[in-house]
Amino acid sequence: MTDNDMTDNDMTGNDKTPPPQVWPTFRARDARGLIRFLVDAFGFEETVVYGDGDVVHHAELSWPPGGGVMLGSAREDTGDAGASGPVPPGSFSAYVVTDDPDGVFARATAAGAEITTSLHETDYGSRDFAARDPEGNRWSFGTYRGEPRKT
Task: Decide if pLDDT at 149 tops 80.
Answer: yes
Please give the share of the chain, as a percent, with pLDDT higher than 90: 71
Nearest to 135 by CA among 94, 92, 104, 76: 92
Stated length of the chain: 151
Q: What is the pLDDT of residue 78?
A: 54
Please give the share of the chain, as a percent, with pLDDT higher than 70: 81
Task: Decide if pLDDT at 15 tops 80.
Answer: no
Q: What is the pLDDT of residue 38?
A: 98
Q: What is the pLDDT of residue 22?
A: 84
Nearest to 50 by CA among 73, 34, 19, 74: 73
3-state class of 8 per DSSP?
Answer: coil
Q: What is the pLDDT of residue 5?
A: 36
Q: pLDDT band at 85, cuts 50/70/90?
A: low
Bridge-partner residues for 36, per DSSP?
none
- pLDDT, tens digit (0-9, with 9 covering 90-100), for 54-76: 999 999 999 999 999 999 999 87
**Mean pLDDT, rounded, for 85-103:** 91
Compute φ and ψ for 81, nearest 5 degrees: 50, 35
Q: pLDDT band at 120, cuts 50/70/90?
A: very high
Element at 110 (helix H, strand E): helix 101-110
Task: Decide if pLDDT at 14 tops 80.
Answer: no
- pLDDT, tens digit (0-9, with 9 covering 90-100), for 23-51: 899 999 999 999 999 999 999 999 999 99
3-state class of 38 per DSSP?
Answer: helix
Domains of the chain: 22-75+89-142 (3.10.180.10)
